[in-house]
Amino acid sequence: MRAKLIESVPNISEGRRRNVIDAIAQAAQGEGRHVLDVDSDADHNRSVITIVGEPTAVAIGIDRLVEEAVARIDLTKHHGEHPRMGAVDVIPFIPVHNVSMKDCITLSRQVGKKIADKYKIPVYLYEESATNETRQNLATIRKGEFEGFFEKIKDPEWKPDFGTAKVHPTAGATAVGARQFLVAYNINLATADLITAKKIAAAIRGSSGGLPYVKALAFTLEERNIVQISMNLTNLKKTPILRVFEVVKNEAEHHGISVLDSEIVGMVPREALYAVASTVLRTEQFSRASVLEDRIEDALRNKH
Amino acid sequence: MRAKLIESVPNISEGRRRNVIDAIAQAAQGEGRHVLDVDSDADHNRSVITIVGEPTAVAIGIDRLVEEAVARIDLTKHHGEHPRMGAVDVIPFIPVHNVSMKDCITLSRQVGKKIADKYKIPVYLYEESATNETRQNLATIRKGEFEGFFEKIKDPEWKPDFGTAKVHPTAGATAVGARQFLVAYNINLATADLITAKKIAAAIRGSSGGLPYVKALAFTLEERNIVQISMNLTNLKKTPILRVFEVVKNEAEHHGISVLDSEIVGMVPREALYAVASTVLRTEQFSRASVLEDRIEDALRNKH
């Protein structure tokens, strides 16, 4: 791919009404962008919509999506397990091809300003776009949720980055920001012992002495009667997926527990899989030039 | 890629005269096909030319290449370490995308017949295209080489599949056939002990009790003062690259020797690398749908 390509993964506060979810996802479709995936969770009452495309086209798609979501979601009537502060709760922009993190930060500011101006929704810049350290963490911004935000926003510390200090009566507030591609990665263990699983999650989690760029929780998978280490990997270049797998595998073995299998939730960049293969095979000289399909695609591209 | 795609890797008996090699490779270029790689070896006095493209277009490229090679290579004056029987020694056709092995066998017969009719070169069908078991093996066909073929071809057992039993006076004979994608894969060991390396090569080689679809030899790498297990992997689905690596690694360890690194010579299909990653990570549910770039490419394709 020669074109500039970004991903945006808006999270909307609706995971039950199929027609509403479809209408909002459909609104994001259009020239130069593609809705790749819509992942809805009824318990969380939340949907994660994956859009990829050319940066300007994705920004237009996000605007349409916000318009539709504001029209159809009323947070005063919304209940779900997942914390939320907005009808469109969070909008991350992620560089994919030929786009820098800086480009995505710039785009997030443009989109954030537009949402505040056009829909009167207060906007907080988060992660790489954050204007101060406290706002890097989405969970910190969101604390208090929709219901608590009417008070929280009066605190000068929580003055929004765009818009006035006034929560939208039905659509709440929205976090917008740039971030690295995030891989949701789960490892399933051959045990039902949740206490040990929590120890293993703590051992891999960056914030408690494990690997940086790894967020981890332990869950029970009722239907399989096993436990799962559920992770977000936020920087695959610095903390690659294979290292994460091996640390979890080793930690589990110290408790006499085997790794059953693992799963990539959503998507992983191709380069991350090439990196696993070349690390295991010890192919120091490996590059895309060694991959048949990549060479063919490059040859086809250079012809045009 | 939606188009039909094959690879052909003609081996020509010229590895020294740059202008001759370039002219022959250039002749194969054209609409619907791409010369991806030209790998010449002066000691072997042989070049391996990699062409990919739409089957009919590749067949046209091969015809042009044979015409140029016949005009420029005189086997009566050719010397090199690698065995050879023809100016164009061997022409394999390999299915890559949306093409079956049967399609490649059909194509190899058409190309073989044309070479015999047009250039008066006797043609032997080999590997998957072979008309009997003896002719499956290229080395068996080639035995006696160019110089010996003038006698060999008189033997009724060695009547060519296409053309008359008359060796071309300067271009010899050519083997044409369909085969699986072949990966040239080398594993380097932390030792200069060639005798042990030969034992390890024998242990991995299919014909001596190792893994099927693996051909293996042991060599000394003078410049690094180490030994190399040099392999051809002829069926990556049945005998995957990771299994080969691990068997060699284990055999080496039994001799107290470590694997230094490994190298893919030429190219490997993308799916083979995905397979390494998904095996190591134990992602049972893994598919192309989990790969960001594959999903994007599929989305772009379905739009058109």
pLDDT by residue (tens digit) across A205-220?
999 999 999 999 998 9
B242 vs A299: CB contact, 8 Å cut-off?
no
C-alpha–C-alpha distance, residues A46 and A90, integer Å: 11
Report, as an integer, the average pLDDT of B291-302: 84
Report, as an integer, the average pLDDT of A79-86: 92
Report, as an integer, the average pLDDT of B194-211: 96
C-alpha–C-alpha distance, residues B246 and B231, integer Å: 14
Longest dimension (CA), chain A: 60
C-alpha–C-alpha distance, residues A136 and B96, integer Å: 46
Q: What residue has token string 């390890």? A: B200
pLDDT digits (tens, 9 = 90+) for B102-133: 999 999 999 999 999 999 999 999 999 999 99
pLDDT tier at A2 (50, 70, 90 boundaries)? low
- Chain B closest CA to A240's CA: distance in Å? 12
Which two structure tokens, joined as six digits, stand for A100? 């820098």
Report, as an integer, the average pLDDT of A293-300: 84
Phi, psi of A282 (to 5 degrees): 55, 40
Which two structure tokens, joined as six digits, stand for A24? 């909002």
**Contact assessment for residue B279 and residue A13, using Cβ atoms and an 8 Å cutoff:** no
In this predicted structure, the answer to whether residue A250 has a pLDDT above a threshold of 70 is yes
B245 vs A281: CB contact, 8 Å cut-off?
yes
Contacts of B282 in chain A (CB under 8 A): 259-262
Report, as an integer, the average pLDDT of B5-22: 96
The closest CB to that of B283, out of A263, A285, A295, belongs to A263
Contacts of A241 in chain B (CB under 8 A): 281
Q: Is A82 a catalytic residue?
A: yes
DSSP one-letter code for B234: S
Through-space distance between the first and last CA atoms of chain B, rounded to whole angstroms? 12
B262 vs A283: CB contact, 8 Å cut-off?
yes
pLDDT digits (tens, 9 = 90+) for B233-276: 999 999 999 999 999 999 999 999 999 999 998 899 999 999 99
B270 vs A285: CB contact, 8 Å cut-off?
no
Through-space distance between the first and last CA atoms of chain A, rounded to whole angstroms? 13
Contacts of B292 in chain A (CB under 8 A): 7, 52, 96, 181, 267-270
Query: Secondary structure of chain A in the HEC alphabet?
Result: CCCCEEEECCEECCCCCHHHHHHHHHHHCECCEEEEEEEEECCCCEEEEEEEECHHHHHHHHHHHHHHHHHHCCHHHCCCCCCCCECEEEEEEEEEECCCHHHHHHHHHHHHHHHHHHHCCCEEEEECCCCCHHHHCHHHHHCCHHHHHHHHCCCHHHCCCECCCCCECCCECEEEEECCCCEEEEEEECCCCHHHHHHHHHHHCHHHCCCCCEEEEEEEEHHHCEEEEEEEECCCCCCCHHHHHHHHHHHHHHCCCCEEEEEEECCECHHHHHHHHHHHHCCCCCCHHHEHHHHHHHHHHHHC
Contacts of B37 in chain A (CB under 8 A): 295
C-alpha–C-alpha distance, residues A128 and B199, integer Å: 55
Report, as an integer, the average pLDDT of B18-44: 94
A282 vs B274: CB contact, 8 Å cut-off?
no
pLDDT at residue B304 in the model: 47
pLDDT digits (tens, 9 = 90+) for B143-171: 999 999 999 999 999 999 999 999 999 99
- Chain B closest CA to A156's CA: distance in Å? 41
Which two structure tokens, joined as six digits, stand for B118? 């047009």
| Candidates A82, A168, A254, A304; catalytic one | A82
A267 vs B291: CB contact, 8 Å cut-off?
yes
| Shortest CA distance from A270: residue in chain B | B291
| Shortest CA distance from A246: residue in chain B | B281
C-alpha–C-alpha distance, residues B14 and B26, integer Å: 14
| Shortest CA distance from B258: residue in chain A | A282
Q: What average pLDDT does chain B have?
A: 94
- Chain B closest CA to A195's CA: distance in Å? 23
C-alpha–C-alpha distance, residues B235 and B254, integer Å: 26
Report, as an integer, the average pLDDT of A188-198: 97
Report, as an integer, the average pLDDT of B21-45: 93
- Chain B closest CA to A122's CA: distance in Å? 32
Q: What is the residue type of A269?
A: P
Q: What would be the CATH architecture of the domain defined by B183-268? A: 2-Layer Sandwich (3.30)
In this predicted structure, the answer to whether residue A42 has a pLDDT above a threshold of 80 is yes
Contacts of A2 in chain B (CB under 8 A): none
C-alpha–C-alpha distance, residues B298 and B47, integer Å: 36
Q: What is the residue type of A169?
A: P
Beta bridge partners of residue A126, listed in sequence order: A177
pLDDT tier at B223 (50, 70, 90 boundaries)? confident
In this predicted structure, the answer to whether residue B303 has a pLDDT above a threshold of 60 is no
Q: What average pLDDT does chain A have?
A: 94
C-alpha–C-alpha distance, residues A11 and A47, integer Å: 6
Per-domain residue ranges for chain A? 5-178, 183-268, 269-304
Which two structure tokens, joined as six digits, stand for B18? 């740059």
pLDDT tier at A304 (50, 70, 90 boundaries)? very low
Query: What b/e readout covers A228-254, taking b as 16+ CB neighbours within 10 angstroms?
Result: bbbbebbbbeebbbbbbbebbbebbee
**Contact assessment for residue A170 and residue A74, using Cβ atoms and an 8 Å cutoff:** yes
**Closest C-alpha to A68, from A104, A16, A123, A19:** A19
**Closest C-alpha to B281, from A205, A255, A236, A52:** A236
- Chain B closest CA to A143's CA: distance in Å? 31
The closest CB to that of B282, out of A52, A259, A280, belongs to A259
pLDDT at residue A272 in the model: 95
- Chain A closest CA to B240's CA: distance in Å? 12
What's the CATH fold of domain B5-178? Formiminotransferase-cyclodeaminase; Chain B, domain 1 (3.30.990)
Residues of B annotated as catalytic are: 82
B1 vs A296: CB contact, 8 Å cut-off?
yes
B267 vs A291: CB contact, 8 Å cut-off?
yes
Contacts of A245 in chain B (CB under 8 A): 280-281
Please count the residues of chain A.
304
pLDDT at residue A222 in the model: 87
In this predicted structure, the answer to whether residue A230 has a pLDDT above a threshold of 50 is yes
SS3 B198: helix
- Burial class for B133, CB neighbours closer than 10 Å (0-12, 13-18, 19+): exposed
Residue in A4, A246, A283 to test binding to B, most B beta-carbons within 10 Å: A283
Of the listed ranges A250-264, A283-297, B229-243, the one predicted with least confidence: A283-297
Q: Against a cut of 0.90, is the pTM above it?
A: no
Q: What residue has token string 């293969």? A: A277
C-alpha–C-alpha distance, residues B163 and B122, integer Å: 5
In this predicted structure, the answer to whether residue B44 has a pLDDT above a threshold of 50 is yes
A270 vs B303: CB contact, 8 Å cut-off?
no
SS3 B194: helix
C-alpha–C-alpha distance, residues B249 and A263, integer Å: 27
Phi, psi of B233 (to 5 degrees): -105, 120
